[in-house]
Amino acid sequence: MGEDVAGGLLWYVVRNAPTFLAMFFLMLLAVRGRLRFSLKATVGMALGIVVAVSLACGIGVAAFAGEEGVWATVPVLAVSLLSLAALTKLPWGKRLFVFFSAATAAAIAILTYDVLLRTVALEWSFGVRRVLDAVVCSAGPLVLAPLFARTIRWGVEQVDDPALWRRLAAVPAGFFVAANALYMFAYAVEFLSSGANALYALAVGVLAFLMVASYLMLFSALRTVMENARLREAAQLEELQHERYENLRRTLRETAKARHDFRHQLLVIRSFAEKDDVRGLRAYLDEEGAGQAQRESGAYALNFALDSVAAHFAERARACGADVSLAFALPERLPLPEADFCMAMANLLENAVEACERAATEGAQGSGSARAGTDGRSALPDGARTLFMDAEVRVEGSAVLVSVRNNCSSTDARALAAAAPNGVLSSGARSAKREGDGIGLASVATMAKRYRGEVRVETDEHAATIRVLLRAGGAR
C-alpha cells in the first residue's frame, strides 16, 4: 500500500507540478511591476508554494481519490489565487483577471494534450506519451508568454479603474469555465469516430483563438480609450496655455499704454504736490495702485504650462470671492513629465475652486454676496468661514510635494472623509464632485500611484487639505 501511495504521489507531482509552475510563471510575467517582494524572492516563494501544494494534493489523490484525482486541481487553483494575492500589490479585479487568464492558458494546454492523445498519440508507448504530456502541458502555456509579458502587463500597469477590472475579470473566467466544460464533456461522451475527434480538436483551437483575439481586441480598445483621454488632456492644457498667452499679451499692451500715460500721471502728481493736496494725492495713488493690481495677474510658476494652469484657476477662485495664495517653487523644467504634472495640478486646483464655489453657495443661501473678512480674506455673510484657496509645490530631494488647502462644504468634507477613511486616497475613490463632473482626485491618486507616491486627505467641517507625494523619475 505504501509503495502504491508513493508511486501515485510521484506520478501526480511529475505530471502536474510543471503545469502549475508554468501557470505561476505567466502570472508573474503580468504582475512583476507590482510585486510585494523582490523578483528573486517572489520566484522562490512561488516555486515553494507550487511544490508544497503539489505534494499535498498528490498525497490526497494517491491515498483517497483514485481516478477522481482531477478534483485535486481545485485546491491547487485556490492556493494559487491566494498566493497571487499575497505576493502582489493589486486590487482584486486585476488579480482575478491575471489568475483566470493564466489558469485558462494551462487548461487549453491540457486540452491540447488530450486532443493529441486521442488523434495521434493513442498508440504510442507509455513513456513517450508521458514525455508528450510533460512538454505540452508545461511548455504549452508559455506560448502565451508574450501576451502576458506585454499586453496584459501593460493593462495591469496603466489601467487603474478597480470597477473596470472587476468587469473585465469575467472575460478570462468565462474562457476558463468553457475550457473545463469542454474537457468534462469530452470525457463524459465517448468519441467513436475520427470526425468527432476532429470536431473536438477544432473546438479547442477555436477556444484558444477566441481567447487570444479577445485579449488583443480588448487591450487595443483600452489603449485607444487611454490615448483619447491623453489627447483630451493635452488639448485642455493647450487651451489653458493659449488663454494665458492672450492674458500676457493683453498685459503687455496695457503696460505699454501705462508707460505712454506715465508722463501724464506725473503731471497730475505734480499738480497735487504744488497744491500741497496730500489727501488728494493719496487718493489718486491708491486708485491707480488698485487698478494696476487688478490688471496685473503676475506669474505663478517658471514653467509656462504650469503657470497657465495656475493662472486659470486662480482667476476662477477670485471670481467667487476666494483669497488665493499660490507658491510653486519649481524650476522651468519640471522634475516630472509636464503633461502628467500639469493635469494633476489642474485636477487639484479645479476641485479646490469648485469646492470654494459650493462652500460660497452653501454659506450664502438666502444672503447677499461675499464681504471682506477681518483677516483680509473674503468672508461669507452672517459670519461664515472665509473663502480661500492655498497651494504650495516644492521639491525635497527626489520627491515633489504638493499641498492644496481650500474651503469645502460639509457635504464635500464627508465625501472626502469617506473616500479616504485612513487618510490615504485610493485610485478607485469616487470624486467628491457632483455626478457627471469627472474623476478629479481619483485621477490624481492614479498618477501618484504611477510615480510611487500617495495622496493624503485631511478634512474638518469647513476646509480640506490634499497632500500629494510624487517621486521624480519614479514612474512605473
In tens digits, what is the pLDDT along the chain, a chain of 476 residues?
A: 445 556 656 666 777 788 889 999 999 999 998 888 888 999 899 888 888 888 887 777 766 655 455 566 788 888 889 999 999 988 899 999 999 999 999 999 999 999 998 888 878 887 888 888 888 988 889 999 999 999 999 999 888 788 899 999 999 999 999 999 999 898 888 777 888 889 999 999 999 999 999 999 999 999 998 888 888 878 877 887 787 777 667 665 666 665 656 666 777 777 777 777 777 777 767 676 544 544 445 678 888 888 889 988 998 999 888 999 999 999 988 888 888 899 899 999 999 999 888 887 776 554 544 444 434 444 444 445 689 999 999 998 889 999 999 988 888 888 888 878 788 887 555 554 544 333 478 788 888 888 889 899 998 877 899 999 998 866 65
Buried b (16+ CB within 10 A) or exposed e, 16-46: bbbbbbbbbbbbbbbbbebbeeeeeebbeeb
Q: What is the pLDDT of residue 364?
A: 59
Residues 60 and 72: their CA atoms lie apart, in Å, by: 8
Residues 266 and 275: their CA atoms lie apart, in Å, by: 14
Amino acid identity, residue 259? R
Contact 101, 23 (CB under 8 A): no
Q: How many CB atoms lie within 10 A of CB 418?
A: 11
How many C-alpha atoms does 179 have within 13 Å on its Cβ side?
27
Write the Ramachandran bin of 321: left for phi over 0, alpha for psi from -120 to 50, otherwise beta: left
C-alpha cell at 90: 493589486
Q: What is the pLDDT of residue 29?
A: 94
Q: What residue ranges of the chain are covered by domains with CATH 3.30.565.10?
A: 299-471
Contact 220, 192 (CB under 8 A): no
Contact 104, 172 (CB under 8 A): yes
Q: What is the pLDDT of residue 1?
A: 43
Distances 71 to 44, 173, 178 between C-alpha atoms, Å? 27, 18, 17
Residues 140 and 420: their CA atoms lie apart, in Å, by: 44
Closest C-alpha to 118, from 68, 191, 185 = 191
CB burial class (10 A; 0-12, 13-18, 19+) of residue 62? buried
CATH 3.30.565.10 for the 299-471 domain, yes or no: yes
How many C-alpha atoms does 79 have within 13 Å on its Cβ side?
20
Q: What is the pLDDT of residue 7?
A: 61
Q: Using CA atoms in the order 146, 151, 156, 157, what is the torsion angle rounded to 10 degrees?
A: 100
Evaluated on CA atoms 10, 15, 18, 21, the torsion sign reads: negative
Distances 372 to 107, 138, 183, 375 between C-alpha atoms, Å? 71, 75, 76, 8
Can you give the C-alpha Rg of the chain in angstroms?
A: 33
Q: What is the pLDDT of residue 102?
A: 95
